[in-house]
A and B are shown apart, each in its own frame.
Chain A
Amino acid sequence: MSQLSEKSFVFDLFEDMQRNNLNYIYRGFFTQSITDNIILLTEANMNSVVEDSKIKKRVFTILVEGLQNVTRHQEIDGKEASPNQSGIFIIQNQNERYYITTGNPILKANIPKLTRQLEKINSLSPDDLKKFYKEVLNDNVISDKGGAGLGLIEMARKSGNKLDFDFSEINDNYSYFYMGTTVLVNEDMVADAPAEKCSMDAIKAIHKTINDQDIIIIFNGLHTQDSLLHIISIMEEHLMNKDVNFRKKMIYCIVELLQNIVKHGKKDTNATKGVFFISNSNNEYQLNTVNYIPNSSVEHARTALERVNQMSDSELNEFYDSNLAKDENVKDGLGLTEMRLRTQHKINYLISPVDDKTSAIFIQVTI
């Protein structure tokens, strides 16, 4: 349990994700299929918030361009970047605005040129930006990575806001490049209204946490069937090289954990708030959830978790069978038992009181 106490960072992470309204973070190698699913996942999430199809299109364009930037530049010296240098994608939805951050390593030598490009783009009015777009298009100056800064111009045009950017050093040759793009959900909003967006510093701090904790993916928000589906697709792609048994165990546990949040989590209006994240350390994957539960459920949760953790294999099997045959399927611990049986690991958990009504619960399944 001493190791588990080090895990209390999860509650800070959970709070950070809530406070900054971060919906989704993916960190790792970006493939076509992963970016496709990120786009679908965002779409599913956006459909419940945004109605204006023009705004949706803008967000898509920015997503596509931003993700392509990461895909193009995620290599270091022609090799896949090491984990703490791999690409990152973050989407935040707060106060009628989407804020999309992408990050990837770049050669330090390219920083001045990129900075000039971005500063030029940021200095232009919408009309001038349009002209500049045509200019660059006609010039046909393609960088060796296939882009000509066109993507950046397109992102700035769709955003209607300045592109935020920042660099942070990785080593002698490389820096990490962050770029943030804003899309206002309501066009009438003054673009330069005091931004309550996540600052680059907050993004960098979260990025550091997820690097330190080897987190691959974080999903925060409404846990719906659609989001579950896209998480499954992303993970299937991510695990392509693993054997089928391992992949299936993962997917089973993802399904059970997410449905567990929906079933037991504290409902805020109609939705269940919760964070789901996957980390990968010591050659094992950890599936983690953090969500609120009412204090009145704390004892029940603790009892259910302790019960499955203390049971032997044969007891687990017996418990599982008898539960399967029971008629009612509310709060029976079937999902927990299934995960224990499949993973052959105890289920880690921590419960932390928030106030006199609510506690936060962290559940970790190791595969």
Chain B
Amino acid sequence: MSHSTIQKIALVGTPNAGKTALFNLLTNSRQRVANYAGVTVESVEADLLHSKAAATLVDLPGAYSLHPFTEEEKVLRDAVKSGSFSKMILVVDATQPERAIRFLVEVLNATTVPAVVAFNMMDIAESRGYRYDLGVLSSLLGVPVVATSAVKKKGASDLIHQLDHLDASVSRESNAFFPAQEAASDGRMSPILEFYKKSDVILKQVLLKKGGVDRRSEWIDRYVLHPIWGILILVAVLGICFQLMFNFAQVPMDWIDAGMGALSALISSIPMPDLVKSFFVDGVLAGVGGTIVFLPQILILFALILFLEDFGFMARAVFLLDHWMGKVGLHGRAFLPILSSYACAVPGIMATKSIESRRDRIVTIMMIPVTTCSARVPVYTLLIGAFIPNTAVFAGLKMQGLVMLGLYLAGTLFALLSGAVLKRFFFKGPRMPLFIELPSYKWPSMRSIAKGLLYRAKLFLVRVGTIILALSVIIWVMVTFPNKEKSIAYNLGHAIEPIMKPIGFDWKISMAMIPTFAAREVMVSALSTVYAVEESVGSTVESVSGEGSGGADPDAENADKLSEIIKKEWPLATGLSLLVWFIFAPQCISTLSAIRRELQSTKWMLFLTLYLFLLAYFAAWITHTIALKI
């Protein structure tokens, strides 16, 4: 059991106390998904820096108390009480004295695990005039207390020093000062009030001077929450997000494309059998390269989300949108999961944990798969490039951009519509109360954002290196064997063709559609592989008659070339039908398994798959039929 020698340390704290920034300050950048007994929520863990003993820090979800109100808070309570951790770091917000002390008292009372307190955001608290006697706090609570400022990188070494000196084998004595607080859940409030009074006794001894209110945040809110300015700012922020995602990402995406092209040229120049060359160029590179291109886009969107959340804007967006989301029957909190799902449905689905009611969670999760995730973008880009003329429509707006915008709107509108329908007919019931803190605005720690991004990038690349690589190879095998003219794919594609014919898909499209259940963006690489192999069949035939052992030409501009091919091969109706098909379906396996995991229900997952498939088929059929008539 080599694992048991590495200590597991829990990072526990209140929301908006800068917990994640502290986590990123204390740990190295090798973040990974944390797995421990009895906990189903995805938490991040990483190794502690500068610690004498090897230790792993687990970033648990934030909560105001151990009384579970949301799924995330339940996770925290279970984790604290599970005994999975040998030590804890408790993070509280120094600008919120009452809340901080209550939280500390409650958690220290609930468990005997040795703990260190990080009194975080101390710099902000002090600049607002708060003065504390942390020595007294430490002796009253019986645990070390360290003043920290995660964003300014202060207090980390002191905190680690204190942590190292805790003896994990000796469990802390539960604080006898406070009675157990379990009775609170039955509706009788008096035990909690007693408990709060006792916390306030501590507070009086510890808080030497009370600070002033945060005038700056109040001032910013006058604009951000203003009827006119507020809406304009919100629209501008969302507009900038999408603008950056599509325009800014283009440059690095071109680099990646060029890099992949150079790599395939290099491989082709190495003398080796054609089959091996084809494996690397048409199988591995076409598939992996076609997907890795989206990394910049995903990172830009996540960077913006992380920034806006840390800055304090996301909570304001919930405030502004709550009423309007209510019109669709949704909770304001559904905003963030839905926004994340424009990058990828999986983190969006996971983010629904903050929604208290299961009913609202189901409705939100059902909406997420039709919002336009970035994996659809390559497919859209390919099809738009091939079939939509880029004529100027008006004032510099081009047709292609408008169609892209239209596809986003179609997905969004449909998501809202389906949410409204589900809520009205299947999930009737009162709205869950809204309760959200509007935290002080603060400049986010760029280091923290960078580490968060690194983690996302790693998750994505692992996905590319495993699932997508494997699928690309499988597709390559299917289109290459037993021989290129009558391959497995050819037969399979022909088998599905009768079903797909009414919506305009031939056997090649049908064939390329199969792997999209693993990842939508594979559509492009699958088509590339299908056509690349076909091309190379042609070129081998030519080379036999002509130049000799030239072999398949490396396709440096994969996508451009593919665009040319499908433009030639497919009727317009097929292209449009395929675009519409991708608004609704197919759902990728990662999305479906995330849904199953989050809702603990196979029934819902199957329902969603079937209903979106039928819907996609129907919508594509209408599009195809109409397009043929024009």
State yes or no: do A and B come from one complex: no
**A residues with CB within 8 A of B:** none
